[in-house]
Chains A and B, each alone.
Chain A
Amino acid sequence: MVTNSNNGNVAEVPLAFVSNPYLDDLTAGLRARPIPWEGYQRATLITQTELNYIKAVDKKTGEDLSRVVDQEGQVYAELFISLLQKLVRVDTIQSILILIDDLLMDHEERATYFLTLANQDPALPYVPLLKCLRNEDEFVPLKASKILTTLLCASPKPNTDVAQDLFRWTTAQLQSNNHAVVDLGVQVLESALRQRDLRPIYWNTSHAMDVLVRILKTDIPTPQMQYQVIYCFWILTFDKEIAEGLNRKYDVIPTLVEIAKSAIKEKVIRVIVSTLRNLVEKAPEANLAAMAAVKLLSFTENLSARKWSDNDLLEDVNYLKVELEENFQTLTTFEVYEAELMSGRLTWSPPHLSDLFWTKNWREFKKDNYALLRVLARLLSTASDTVVLSVAASDIGQYVKRDSGGKKFLQDIGVKQRIMELMSHPDQEVRYNSVNASWSLIGGGARV
């Protein structure tokens, strides 16, 4: 809950921190438009009492509004929600939403007026607002989502079904072509995910994580958007289960490190480092290997040498450095190799070149019905990066040299075929490595 201890003009962080110019412009436009409330009263869409109440707050903001509302906040909450339930005309719904948002602006404690409506009717206050999410008008869902977020954030035990509906809606919005809409969706998430109970809900909502990850990986986000999306990842990773699964399912660590390396704005780096810190703190076994695979340790050393205006950032960087250093020794090379393999980003890191590594670890590739070999095979077929192809080919060769029984299997899944094809690949290194691998596959002796 937000306590309003505003001495002077220091702003308190709002629960639903949505600052979206697109929405603001739409709101401003609609606000200026006159609504014939009297007309509606004459058409008995609303009662006289309701009309009077509306007129008392219409077009008022700030101090004026407070004077009216502080007397009868509960009545207004009930009024607005019931109007949302019964009115159908788009312009009235738009106006009611604006009135509600104005009511809550800077005074999020008034959310309790709405939340207590649940005591009379468990469907309130959320059901009418959820209906708005599916409204065809452009403004209505956007505004309703902001209000829903405020209510969910103000609630000590947020309603998880409502949250799920909201997340389904945001998942759709995040796929929109309209950047402003995507931006609003992400901001809604930034606020909603502050509620700890909602984080697992989001994690389990289908495609919810996908769309977020996609923004970072495929779209070309602005730094502000990067910050916002990564901020969402950060608060999600406070949840242990999410911290364990995030990289495994969505391979975010390499992406985050890449972004951090080229980021100009300090806050982007700041939020990335915080996220990485959470991953290490909450789920080290799941994440340290992947971090070692992308050489995060040397990057943190680089980061710690730079000048930052934010001390917290430096603290987090140093924490990462220490943890990585400590665990570096205990991380077996095989774990690093496996992390690298699973991420698909094969490079000429030490395990690939070390004969000792292969002699020690080739049996791991047989486990789970050749699980790792299959991954290598998939990379061989699908990767386009020449380094990846070269390394994969070399790895196959290394394996086969120690387990000639595996040759039949490799032939069955088409690896042998593929390596033969690669022998005529345009890139020289690919050719070189696939020739060597073929040699081993065919059953040749010493390596060329």
Chain B
Amino acid sequence: MDFAVNILALGVPFSVALLIASLGEMFNQRAGVFNLGCEGIMAMGAFLGFLAPFLVGRGGPTAEIWNYAGILMAMAAGALMGIFFGLAVVTFRAPQGIAGIGLQMFGVGVAGTFFRHFVGGTQSIPGIPAMPIPLLSKIPVLGPILFSHNPLVYVAFLLPPAAWYVLFKTPWGLRVRASGANPRAADSIGVKVNLVRFQALAVGGALAGLAGAYLSLCQAKMFSDEIIAGRGFIAVALVYFGHWRPLKITGGALLFSLAQALQLAIQGRGINFPYEFAVMLPYVLVIVVLAFSRENLLLGPTALGRPFNREIRT
């Protein structure tokens, strides 16, 4: 029993970075753009999130505030990188796969270089501490699993319903879905498809930045070159796994994080379970799931990856 609770209590915070980043990627893809640069934006977010509290926020009464300044910087930089990406793939119609890989290398490279320049070696920060919710956190089993985390975890779990609402209930969500599924139709009824794509990329980028900042500020409480460790790519895979639906994506993020927590717990008990295998799992699952759900693909953004220009026939 304790073992299971431990895994769950560990797995829930693990899932947060994946969850936030994949919901961001979901908005990109719903609008018709896949951003493989997610990993790079996360690296940048992790670095910027770490930088403010590291440089100015050591101790003192204002320390907490600098954590949140770091988060804002990470999100702003993420949104900018999303817009930058949009310039390449929406305005200049660059192939999205290649541009995404470019953005990934750019983000990871710049974050690492700046880190060595401004920080030097491994340094830890106090980060954002856990904030158990009074009373609720005392509930047996559920308390440690759900209510004993840092504030970003709680925020992260408000995101899926919020993303669902935005996507399916607001005019902007309607425009996003139409732009990704049939841009020509959206255009003919007055939707500014490319503007919507830029907006979605900015939102997606901001969320990827936030996911990165979560990793450095809440999970690792430090920055290193490998801090993202492929999570950006897993986030992209999760979007396919969850068929572009916020709640399914959340399920996927939890599933993989629990698998990871399990693997750590097993290792902790001296049983050697290959880490690489756990990392591989999401990809394998995505391939299997996609192979068996072809008709579901038609429910998502059917124009995914295709640039739109009214006057160019495709």
Chains A and B bind each other: no
Task: List the interface of chain A (C-beta within 8 A of B).
Answer: none
